[in-house]
Amino acid sequence: MRRKTVMIGLLGSVLDAGPAGTARWEKWRPTVALCRHPDLLIDRFELLHPSRIASLARIVEADMRSVAPETEVRATPFELKDPWDFEEVFAALHDFARAYPFDPEREDYLVHITTGTHVAQICLFLLTESRHFPARLVQTAPPAGRSRGGPGTYRVIDLDLSRYDRIASRFRVERDEALVSLKSGIATRNAAFNALIERVERVAVRSTAPILLQGPTGAGKTVLARRIYEVKKARRLVEGPLVEVNCATLRGDAAMSTLFGHVRGAFTGALRDRPGLLLAAHKGLLLLDEIGELGPDEQAMLLRALEDRRFLPLGADRDVGSEFQLIAGTNRDLAAAVARGTFREDLLARIDLWTFHLPGLRERPEDVEPNLGYELDEFARRTGQRVGFNAEARARFLAFAADPGAPWPANFREFNAAVTRMATLAAGGRITAAVVDDEVARLQAGWRRRAAVPPTGPGADVLPSRIAADLDRFDAMQLAEVVRVCRGCRSLSEAGRELFAASRRRKASPNDADRLRKYLARFGLRWDELRAPAPPDP
């Protein structure tokens, strides 16, 4: 049994109208023209029209029946106060679609759109694309040349057909270009890192909320932030500039003034007004690197600026506004900083919506080789000199750099320095095995010197020096806090309950002791050795 074909269309008060009498047949009228195509058999035509043009609807209905007597025409009043009000038109068509008794098993549906950019046609397209109308689109166009009254042309468009993947592929190309940009053009191979970058891309183009980039020094937080800005700028998601500031360099009044600006006379030496970096980032992106270094006053001001988009410059009587997007970078454990009282909990909650942890070089051995190629290309770009490895030297350096025993404490920053030194010392543009051996010896000697220096940073007072000396600042701060809690508790379970107090509430059967034991084991620590102060290393 043949399935019926049902057309759904809106009567056009202009295009479907025509001169009085028989002269109307000399004009192309899209609704009537649809019924004149011999290869398009329409069993039923749902003709929607406003009541105010009911007389036109009767004329068009009669003309449709005269050219296609086999077509059942249902003229249905469709009330609109303002046909240019997008919300009203969309709501009315949406209500019609929800109430219509679609029967896809027995009927095929077509939705008519034609020339022009009327709001109603845009809404019909959107509702068909979203499958509120389970239909294909029929797009009509007037006849070419002098055939003013001819049927014109039509095209059936199925938004679900694979032949329209070419349209979707344009968006995939744009997305792939963004991913390449976020990775600085490096064909990274680490699956976890690639997945992280894909998620960053989705957030960057869909959200204006703050982004928090965590990771050890040299992991590429600042570079990624710049690439995020470039992606946003290319998509026209930001209009203003990228404003960068390293919060570790800000102290005292200078910090408040640099970030929020000041008015003349606000403090000694304030000879003129200063707008501040938050205002400079208006409609752009503000990168606050090492945000954990901000003082309490700056944190409070920043929180208000993020929530209200307004802040008070130093010494001013009136606040000012700035619409900026924030990317914050840190190598600290901000949750631990909150526990110590050095970072505001409400500020962390505000910037922690989208948090991404960038792994260090040691965690991405698969990416050593593509990064080596990238660094050599960058060296050529900076110096105009193209440098390469001979086969033996390249294999030797890659084996060393990707070895789990290579700590790379400064991560990609240190890796860049190593490649730059080798490229600079390469005779005749070729890095030899001897150059690689010298660089390896230099790196190892530096790492040994760092390990020999008694730790003075976070955790030095509670961690064995054999452990603290080999930890990034990020891990050392977290582990030191865990050790302090363990030394104040009577059992492993008690320490686990205190350390995992929030997350344990979300688990049906938390095993805090086992969770803590595994965490300590990652650093070669046992519960029994934490019950007394850390013994001196031999």
CA distance 347 to 307: 10
* pLDDT (0 to 100) of residue 536: 42
CATH number of 4-160: 3.40.50.10770
Per-residue pLDDT of the chain (538 residues; tens, 9 = 90+): 688 999 999 998 888 887 778 888 888 899 999 999 999 999 999 999 988 889 999 999 999 999 999 999 999 988 888 888 889 999 999 999 999 999 988 999 999 998 765 788 899 998 998 889 999 999 998 887 666 668 889 999 887 654 455 555 665 666 667 777 787 777 888 898 889 999 999 999 889 999 999 998 889 999 999 999 999 998 888 999 999 999 988 876 688 889 998 888 877 777 888 889 999 999 999 999 999 989 889 999 999 999 999 999 988 889 999 999 999 999 888 998 898 888 999 999 999 999 999 999 999 999 999 999 999 999 999 999 999 999 999 999 999 999 988 999 999 999 999 999 999 999 889 999 999 999 999 999 998 887 765 555 555 556 665 566 567 777 788 888 888 888 778 788 888 888 888 777 777 677 888 888 888 877 778 787 775 444 444 3
In angstroms, what CA-CA distances link 36 with 50, 74, 85, 169, 490? 24, 17, 32, 36, 89
Specify the CATH architecture of the domain 177-357. Answer: 3-Layer(aba) Sandwich (3.40)
CATH number of 364-452: 1.10.8
- C-alpha 466/C-alpha 463 separation (Å) is 8
Q: How far is CA 374 from CA 205, 221, 396, in A?
A: 26, 17, 18
Looking at residue 498, its pLDDT comes to 83
Token couple for 361 = 């070089």
Q: Do domains 177-357 and 364-452 have the same CATH topology?
A: no
The pLDDT, as a whole number, for residue 485 is 83
The predicted structure's pLDDT at residue 100:
94
Q: Where are the domains of the chain?
A: 4-160, 177-357, 364-452, 465-530
Asked whether 71 and 104 are in contact (CB, 8 A), the reply is: no
**Rounded CA gap, 515 and 493, in Å?**
10
**pLDDT value, residue 494:** 82
